[in-house]
Amino acid sequence: MSKANKSKLITKDILTASIKGAFRKLNPRYMMKNPVMFVVEVGFIICVILIFFPHLFHDQGNSLRIYNSIVAIILFFTLLFANFAEAVAEGRGKAQAETLKKTKKDTQARVVLENGEEKTISSNDLKKGDIVLVKAGEIIPGDGEIIEGIASIDESAITGESAPVTKESGGDFASVTGGTLVVSDWIKIEITSDPGQSFLDKMIALVEGASRQKTPNEIALNTLLVSLTIIFLIVIVTLYPMAAYLNIHISISTLIALTVCLIPTTIGGLLSAIGIAGMDRVTRFNVIAMSGKAVEACGDVDTMILDKTGTITFGNRLASEFLPVDGVEEKELIDVACMASLYDDTPEGKSTVELAMKLGSTICKSDYEHVEIMEFSAATKMSGIDTKDGHRIRKGAQDAISAYISQKHGTIPKDLTQKVNQISKLGGTPLVVCVDERVLGVIYLKDTVKPGLAQRFERLRKIGIKTIMCTGDNPLTAATIAAEAGVDGYIAECKPEDKIDAIKKEQAEGKIVAMSGDGTNDAPALAQANVGIAMNSGTTAAKEAANMVDLDSNPTKLLEIVEIGKQLLITRGSLTTFSIANDVAKYFAIIPAMFTAAIPQMEVLNIMQLTSSSSAILSALIFNAIIIPCLIPLAMKGVAYKPMSASRMLGRNMLIYGLGGVICPFIGIKLIDLMISPLLLLLGL
């Protein structure tokens, strides 16, 4: 689905498919899933029988046959409109699924056999555990984990984000998704899913609505609607002998019309559409919800627990500052640090070169082509280069550099330890830089907080959501990152079981907890949380444990998801209020029309001054049918959510949808009565 079409409620293709779907859903086996609308379908079938066999119910007469036909036609369109609402919601999901299916191509996979040979097979034949080699310009044939190599990967087919991302073996950023493109270099992947079970396959099934189950709130509301329907059916059944006692003949079709008007058909027809539309809105924010229950639970979230590395921070320690020791110019430190990092392809090395360039360094890699490169190793704890003119440039841990300088009979600056401790206290990593036997200063590496988080956490705080950061760092480092990110609390030196304990503690207090993470060690906590949101950049284990996957890997996406969840609950409640309030107006339209002839005093209840009993009943029935398609845009878009107290929100919705639900039918039924009464007069009704 294109971005232009995403913003449209109904495109031409969706409209065509929805009309066809509305007719297909008339199948009684399908309609039985919605008891309220199934009652309407039974009523429609009885009215059709009355048209051809009126003597079965003692409903004789040509005018009554016409009346039965009109009631049957209105009921038929009521069913179509209700089915159309659900079909439109499903159609939008299927349109998104078609876009994803275009991504799912039958690509060729280069499988690496145990003897090292390569064999080319169809991606559809790949099995879990296969090792696949993917080179630049090739499509990744299936979900997997990188076991060797590093590559730049274009994930725009899945995420919509055009900027490629770097993925490499090891750590929490080794997971890749089938259908994405390797832009540069090469990688070896171990396939982690069997055919038909990939992440993309699951996404397609979910956005199509095929895997959608009714949520607890939806089931509870459905039970309420069924209960109201049964109550009104009992009322209608008792009404017939009461009318007979008053010598009032009420036709079967009129009783059916009364039943359909009084049972909550409006919300019954829109209930499924509201739920499907909620998941659709989440999908448009590039979040895949594994169930409607997860979306619904987001509306009630009280606490959000976030992993630090890769979620709140970028996960790589990057150069942020150069601190020269006494007697050394900052420019000299910057240039030498840049030289030491020219051939360091780690994120730390690259960020050092980038920061040096930003600060005015003119060091060029082409001027240092003929140098001896000293790779970092766990044994030496330092790296650097030996230039062709004999200078030895190094950067590394303080103890390693100090030992190196001592071997060369150099001196350690007095303020070096103070600068190293200063960085350590801030939660950073100090890298000491030296040239030959001289120490020049320290590179301050820090785990950088993602931009804009503090402002977004403040928005979460305003809607009553507490944020807690979990990290394995020491308390000092954790406090520094927590203050910079703006979270409400933090848990330092946190182990996987500590995250689960924190979630259970909040849940024991009756709170709904959301957990956002990306690593394998986050998987147990993601499974324990009421709402588990895994970053798409994270591991397969994290994505499988969560009930939502954020394709953009943005931890604060929960803010939008929470608002969508609240909007879903508010929409459902508002339209239920509107539907039940409608019944009040329909009561004043139909009941007086039925009994005024026998009980003239009931004319006082005919406050709409409807033309005749037939006109009153048919006007109410027509309004009952057309209000469903009129509310489809609201059901799809959702009632606007604004942060406010529950009591204020209840009062606002009661005023708009409660009072509005009473007034709207009075106006609508009266206007329909004015339009159809001349036609009914011509038909003798």
In tens, the pLDDT along 9-21 reads 567 777 888 888 8
Is 307 an annotated catalytic residue? yes
User: What residues does CATH 3.40.50.1000 cover in the chain?
Assistant: 289-312+450-551
**Regarding predicted confidence, which is higher, 198 or 130?**
130
pLDDT band at 41 (very low <50, low <70, confident <90, very high): very high
135-170 b/e with 16+ CB inside 10 Å = b?
Answer: eeebbbbbbbbbeebbbebbbebbbeeeebbebebe
Quote the pLDDT of residue 515. Answer: 87
Amino acid identity at 249: H
Q: Is 586 marked within a binding site?
A: no
Lowest mean pLDDT among 52-61, 80-89, 598-607, 642-651: 52-61
Check: CB of residue 158 under 8 Å from CB of residue 200. Answer: yes
| 316-448, CATH topology level | Calcium-transporting ATPase, cytoplasmic domain N (3.40.1110)
Q: Average of pLDDT values for 235-252?
A: 80
pLDDT band at 100 (very low <50, low <70, confident <90, very high): low
* 389 exposure class (CB count in 10 Å sphere: 0-12, 13-18, 19+): exposed
Quote the pLDDT of residue 5. Answer: 44
Query: What proportion of the chain, given as a percentage, has pLDDT over 70?
Result: 87
Quote the pLDDT of residue 337. Answer: 94
Q: Is 395 marked within a binding site?
A: yes
Q: Is 635 marked within a binding site?
A: no
Q: Is 446 marked within a binding site?
A: no
Check: CB of residue 631 under 8 Å from CB of residue 676. Answer: no
Q: What is the mean pLDDT of the chain?
A: 81
Q: Is 367 marked within a binding site?
A: no
Lowest mean pLDDT among 219-228, 235-244, 307-316, 651-660: 307-316
Quote the pLDDT of residue 447. Answer: 77
Question: pTM of the prediction?
Answer: 0.63
Residue 256 CA to residue 615 CA, distance in Å, equals 15
Check: CB of residue 386 under 8 Å from CB of residue 375. Answer: no
β 531-535/512-517 pair status: parallel
Quote the pLDDT of residue 6. Answer: 47
Residue 110: CB partners within 8 Å, gap ≥ 6?
A: 118, 119, 120, 132, 133, 134, 135
Q: Is 522 marked within a binding site?
A: yes
* 241 exposure class (CB count in 10 Å sphere: 0-12, 13-18, 19+): exposed
- Classify domain 289-312+450-551 at the CATH class level: alpha beta
Q: Average of pLDDT values for 337-361?
A: 90
User: What residues does CATH 3.40.1110.10 cover in the chain?
Assistant: 316-448
* Phi and psi at residue 195, to the nearest 5°: -55, 135
Residue 283 CA to residue 277 CA, distance in Å, equals 10
Q: Is 296 marked within a binding site?
A: no
**Regarding predicted confidence, which is higher, 263 or 555?**
263
Residue 277 CA to residue 575 CA, distance in Å, equals 14
Among 280, 307, 447, 550, which one carries the catalytic annotation? 307
Tokens of 307: 């992993």
Quote the pLDDT of residue 156. Answer: 64
Q: Which helix (H) or strand (E) holds 302?
A: strand 301-307
Q: Average of pLDDT values for 280-300?
A: 76
Residue 416 CA to residue 325 CA, distance in Å, equals 6
Residue 133: CB partners within 8 Å, gap ≥ 6?
A: 110, 112, 118, 186, 187, 188, 189
Angle CA 223–225–231, to nearest 5: 105
Amino acid identity at 66: I
Q: Is 380 marked within a binding site?
A: yes
Q: Is 162 marked within a binding site?
A: no
Quote the pLDDT of residue 341. Answer: 92
Quote the pLDDT of residue 99. Answer: 57
Residue 78 CA to residue 41 CA, distance in Å, equals 9
Q: Does the pLDDT value for residue 104 go beyond 80?
A: no
Q: Average of pLDDT values for 113-126?
A: 84
Q: Is the sign of the CA dihedral 278, 284, 286, 288 positive or negative?
A: positive
Q: Which 8-state DSSP code applies to residue 417? A: H
Lowest mean pLDDT among 71-85, 252-266, 286-300: 286-300
Tell me the three state secondary structure of residue 225.
Answer: helix
Q: Does the pLDDT value for residue 181 go beyond 60?
A: yes
